Every structure is written in structure tokens, then in C-alpha cells.
Amino acid sequence: MVIGIDLGTTNSLVAYYTEEGPKIIPNRLGERLTPSIVSLDENDQLYIGRTAEERMQLYPETCASVFKRDMGSNKAFELGSKSFTAEELSSFVLRSLKEDAEEFLGEEVTEAVISVPAYFNDMRRKATKRAGELAGLKVDRIISEPTAAAIAYGLYNTDGRSKFLIFDLGGGTFDVSILDYFEPILEVRAVAGDNFLGGEDFTTVIENIFFERNKEIDKDSLSLKEKRHIHKQAEKLKINFGDGLMSSMTVTLNDKSYDMELTLHDYEKACEELYDRIRIPVKKSLADANLKLSEIDRIVLVGGATKLPGVRRFVAKMFKNMPDTSVNPDEAVALGAAIQAAIKERDASIKEVILTDVCPFTLGTEVVVDLGDNRYEDDHYCPIIERNTIIPVSRTERMYTIRDNQTKLDVTILQGESRFARNNVELGRLEVSVPKNSAGKEAIDVTYTYDINSILEVEVTVISTGQKFRQIVKNNETDMTDEQIEERFKELSYLKIHPRDQEENKLLLLRGEKLYSESLGMDRQDIDQKLKKFEIALQTQDKRIIEKERKELKEYLDAWDDKY
């Protein structure tokens, strides 16, 4: 049995697929949401979920929450005398969900599809996979939360073609994903996000207002238990806004009560900095997808924090469109993960969907820049596969020697968005030998090929000798053997043909060259501009741009043929 799990910052859910569609599995208390909280008592007994949440009010030093934000890091969470990583704490939550599912279904659960924020990097995704394995689950598939939500919406609520913007604001993370659904293909166009922005931050705003209004309270002298009490009351105030314009909270410290009323207007004004942070990934994703707001058909809200009235109004105002909340924002990701689990099991009752994804981070290498006067500067980043490029993909960049008699070139394999190489993550390194020659006379082609299984092949070809150097950067998410990887990259060899060398593009260029040779005057200039425009498109190696320009050039050349 394969289940779908939404491992959330604040709450987690588990779901399975039935003939009637995906269903949420209630936990042992009969609740659909399981708080992502872990507690350990003096007898080393673990408590997960609602019980741990209650213990947090009484024994906060024995509890941990919001640890998903630190997934993949070495941060230690102290629970009494014991210490745990976010990965280990997450495994406890996953094991609890697994046991609840087995009790509900009456059968053993061995495998799961687990969701993660779209902007989780490789390290965080690997940690999530390991957490699942520690919980006794086989985790073949990690799915992005917005993609899971889009599956839940796209397969059952869409007729024809539709472009979605998934606005996923959970307890601790924020993701924006733009997807294009055209049955049966669900194509991810762009992802962006903030791993440290979520509902918890909207609660923190209320806490800050409380301390600002009650300056006599020394925040630093409060015990952990007292801080948890204030946080709990702030959370209640936030939730109780509902459709009202006023909410209140009462905090009791040392037998003294502190009452605070807060208007929705004042609260939203205090949240402006958070809204500004939300705008950044939204703009980034639209720019990367090369889309305007007016081209988005549906804005889908996902994540518990999107239930806040202020957030919904902000989204409606920003997009000038009412967002879609037809699926419970708390449950959409888990339901989508369950559908993906059914797809994996090839459940006959499910509508088949083909998922395409994007590379969430730019992949490139370090280069030296010529400053002139025989001066060079290293540490510059040369992107080869840009973020949000549809995968699988292959891109090639040509590099040259900079010194006379240079015999070595170092190719550093990097991941990140900084213009400086040192600020990006190093994934690997290749040392390439080249023949001695004058500066700039020797060159190498650096080809990056990135697969849907998060495997990167780096192939370097020395132009003068044809000698090749190769390295595979394997993501630990994949269970593929070395032999399977080799076979996969053989299948993708067609991608390594540069667009300028692909037959259909060469044919168009030849037609254009022939037409140019047969023309005169202004016609020649016009033909030349059209060919240059297409050649520039070919240099981008971007499939979308090339297809658009190829269509325009073909129509232009066909029109000439129709004249004569």
C-alpha cells in the first residue's frame, strides 16, 4: 500500500486513494490534522501530535516544533536530556502517520509519496527521504507541495487547458509555482519561494505588538513556558479574526492578566513587511515563466495560513482575481500526494497524468573574466542551465584558455543564483587536460544534462583533440543503479545536439541563406534580420524561444515561396 503524506511545518496529514478519489486518513484521535510537534517525557516516552502540543504548554523544554525549517541542517533540538535533528524529529511524525494509516486501513503500509516545499534544495529533500526511511517507509518519490496541490485541483476541476498559480503559504514555508495543465500533461513552468516565511511569522507579528504595548514585560526574562503561553494566545487571536474586524487575547503572567484587543486594520498594517516578502517570489516566478498576471487562469490557495482573511484579501488585490479555495487549503497537498501514490501504483481507476518538472536552481561553473590589459578576475559564475528550465534538459557552453601554454582547466560544478562562484554550492569538480597552445587557442565544450530523477551529467569535450571528461552528480533521492543511470543518459543523448545542429533548424537556415542569395537591396536586409533573430534564439538553447522563432521564420520563408 502506498500512501501520500504532507509533512508540514505546523500540521501533517496522510491520505490514500479510493475509487471515489483521494481521502484523508484520520489519526488515532479521529482528527484529520496531526500537529508536527514531538515531546519526550522523563521516561523517554515519545508523544506526537495533539498530545505533544498540550504538553508543550506545560513542559516546553521537552518539546520541539517548527523543525521542518531546519530540515537538512545539523541544528540540535534539545528534548529534556536528549538531542535530535530535524530529520529525526520528522521521522517520529512520519512513523505516527504510518501507524495511523495502518490502523485505519487494516493493512501494512510500506511505501509513501512525501511532499516538500518546491524550493527545498537537494540537501533538504535528501533529509526528508531519510526521515521517511527512518520511519520504516520506502520513499521512491518526493513531490513538490504546489505540484501535489495542482494535481488535486487539475485532475478533477479543470476542463481544457489551464494555467495555475499555486500560492502555498503554510505554517513555516512559502512557495509559488506556475503550472500549465493540458490533458494529460501537467507542466511546471516556474517555482520560487521563501523557506522561512509562513503562518508562524504572522503569529510572531501579534507577539511583537503585545510586547510593544506592554513594555513593562521583560521579554528576555520570561521562561520558556511563559513564552509558549504568549505564543499560544497570539495564535488564538490570529485564528479568531475570522470575518470579524476585531480580535483579542488574554495573557496571564505571575497572576497578572494582560488583555489586548487588535483591529484587523492594525494587524494587516503590521504585516506589511511580510506581504512585501510574499511579493518577491510571486514576481520572480512570473518573470521566469515569461507570463503576465492576466495570463494566469486560476490562483489556487494552499496551506493553512491562506485561511487568514488578510492573506486572502491581499492575494485577491495583488492578482485582481478571486483565488480558488474549492479544495480545503489544509488538505490539498496530502490529497495530491495520494493521487501521485495511485499514479505510481498504476491504479486503474485514476486518470493518467504526465508530470513535467523544472530545475529549481541554476547549475553552472566558475569562469575567469578578461578585464583587458592582460588582467583577469576569477570567481565569476557562468550559468549553464538556468533555474526553472523544463527538464530533462541539456545545455552547452564553450570555454577558452587564458594563458599561453596552459595545460589544465578546472571545471567546478556549481548550484545557485549568486553572480560570484564562491557564494554557490559546489557539487563536484573536473580537471581537464588540454594541449599547450597560445592563450585563447584551446577550447572546451562544457555540457550539462539534467534529468527528471535529479541526476546531473557533466561532460567536457576538448575541441582540438575530441577527448572527453565526464562526471555524474547523483542525488541521493534516486534509487537508480549506476547501470540504470548510464542507460538513461543514453536515452537523453538526443538532447546534447546543439539546436543549431538539429536538422529542422539547419534546414530553415539553409532556406534563408538561399533566399538571401537570390534577393537584392531591402529584401536582403529584411531576410538578414530574420535569420539573425533566429540565430540569436538558437544560442539561448531555450526550447520555447526556439520553437516560437522557428515558427515565425518558417511562416516568413513560406510566404516568400508562395510569391513565386
| pLDDT of residue 428 exceeding 70 | yes
Residues 526 and 474 in one domain: no
- The answer to whether residue 526 is catalytic is no
pLDDT bucket at 528, cuts 50 / 70 / 90: confident
Establish if 455 belongs to a structural domain.
yes
Give the pLDDT score at 474.
64
Among 5-9, 261-265, 373-377, the least confident range: 373-377
Q: What average pLDDT score do residues 22-34 get? A: 95
One of 87, 100, 122, 168 is an active-site residue; which one? 168
Q: Within the chain, what is the greatest distance between any pair of CA atoms?
A: 96
6, 331, 442, 549: the active-site residue: 6
- 193 pLDDT band (50/70/90 cuts)? confident
Give 179-205 as a DSSP string: EEEETTEEEEEEEEEETT-SHHHHHHH
Q: What is the pLDDT of residue 5?
A: 97
Cell of 51: 498530545
**Domain, as residue range, for 289:** 2-197+273-358
Instruction: List all residues 6 or more positions away from 289 whose beta carbon is below 8 Å from its beta carbon.
Output: 178, 189, 190, 388
Number of domains in the chain: 4
**Any domain includes 229:** yes
235 is catalytic: no
Q: Between 224-240 and 199-213, two packed helices, what is the crossing angle to 10 degrees?
A: 110
3-state secondary structure 419-472: CEHHHCEEEEEEEEECCCCCCCCCEEEEEEEECCCCEEEEEEEECCCCCEEEEE
Mean pLDDT over 303-315 rounds to 91
pLDDT band at 477 (very low <50, low <70, confident <90, very high): very low
The total of other beta-carbon atoms located within 10 Å of residue 503's CB is: 8
Tell me if 101 is assigned to some domain.
yes
Residue 111 in domain: yes
Average pLDDT over residues 408-437: 90
Residue 356 confidence (pLDDT) above 80: no
Domain boundary among 436, 465, 487: 487
**Catalytic hit among 145, 180, 288, 331:** 145
Q: Are residues 408 and 425 in the same domain?
A: yes
Residue 494 domain-assigned? no
The dihedrals phi and psi of 392, each to the nearest 5 degrees, come to -70, 155
152 and 12 in one domain?
Answer: yes
Task: Give, in degrees to the nearest 5, the angle at Cα 176 between 155 and 169.
Answer: 95
- Please give the share of the chain, as a percent, with pLDDT higher than 70: 91
Last residue of a domain, one of 337, 358, 379: 358
From the list 92, 139, 83, the residue with the least C-alpha distance to 116 is 139
Least-confidence region, from 118-132, 147-161, 201-215: 147-161
Sign of the Cα torsion 263, 264, 269, 273 reads positive
**CA dist., res. 333 & res. 116, Å (int):** 10
Establish if 541 belongs to a structural domain: yes
pLDDT for 49:
95
Q: What is the mean pLDDT of residues 125-136?
A: 91
pLDDT (mean) for 473-502 = 59
Residues 339 and 385 in one domain: no
Which pLDDT score, from 0 to 100, does residue 414 have?
Answer: 92
Q: Distance between CA atoms of 6 and 152, rounded to whole angstroms?
A: 13
Instruction: Quote the percentage of the chain above a pLDDT of 90.
Output: 50
Q: What is the CATH number of the domain that holds 211?
A: 3.90.640.10
364-415 residue pLDDT tens: 999 998 877 778 889 999 999 988 888 888 899 999 999 899 999 999 999 8
Q: Which helix (H) or strand (E) holds 414?
A: strand 408-415
Burial of 67 (0-12, 13-18, 19+ CB in 10 A): buried
317 SS3 class: helix
Sheet-wide strand order for 37-40: 46-48, 37-40, 63-65
Give CA–CA dist 447/444, Å, rounded. 10
Region 478-495 average pLDDT: 56
Identify the pLDDT of residue 520: 75
User: 357 pLDDT band (50/70/90 cuts)?
Assistant: confident
Do 179 and 207 belong to one domain?
no
CATH of the domain at 416: 2.60.34.10
Q: By C-alpha distance, which of 17, 83, 20 is closest to 343?
A: 17
Note whether residue 496 is domain-resident. no
Q: Are 150 and 177 in contact (CB under 8 A)?
A: yes
Task: Give the pLDDT score at 475.
Answer: 53
The last residue of a domain, from among 228, 246, 272: 272
Mean pLDDT in residue range 519-544: 84
- Mean pLDDT across 27-52: 94
The reply to whether 26 and 164 lie within a common domain is yes
pLDDT in tens, 73-122: 889 999 988 999 999 999 999 999 999 999 999 999 999 999 998 878 77
| Cell 516544533 belongs to residue | 65
Mean pLDDT of 271-284: 94
Report the CATH number that the domain containing residue 337 is assigned in CATH.
Answer: 3.30.420.40
Which of helix, strand or coil describes residue 540? helix
- Say yes or no: 61 and 27 in one domain: yes
Return the top range by mean pLDDT from 290-304, 387-401, 432-446. 432-446
Same domain, 425 and 542: no
Q: Around Cβ 558, how many Cβ atoms within 10 Å?
A: 10
pLDDT at res. 354: 64
Please confirm, yes or no, whether 357 is among the known catalytic residues: no
User: Do 353 and 474 belong together in one domain?
Assistant: no
Task: Quote the pLDDT of residue 459.
Answer: 93
Whether 504 is a known active-site residue: answer: no
Split at pLDDT 50, 70, 90, the class of 427 is confident
Q: Is the pLDDT at 321 greater than 90, yes or no?
A: no
pTM assigned to the model: 0.71
Contact 344, 14 (CB under 8 A): no
Same domain for 434 and 321: no
Specify if 495 maps to a domain.
Answer: no
- Please check whether residues 259 and 298 belong to one and the same domain: no
Q: Identify the residue whose cell numbers are 537508480.
A: 480
- State the chain's mean pLDDT as an integer: 87
Same domain, 278 and 183: yes
3-class DSSP state of 395 = strand
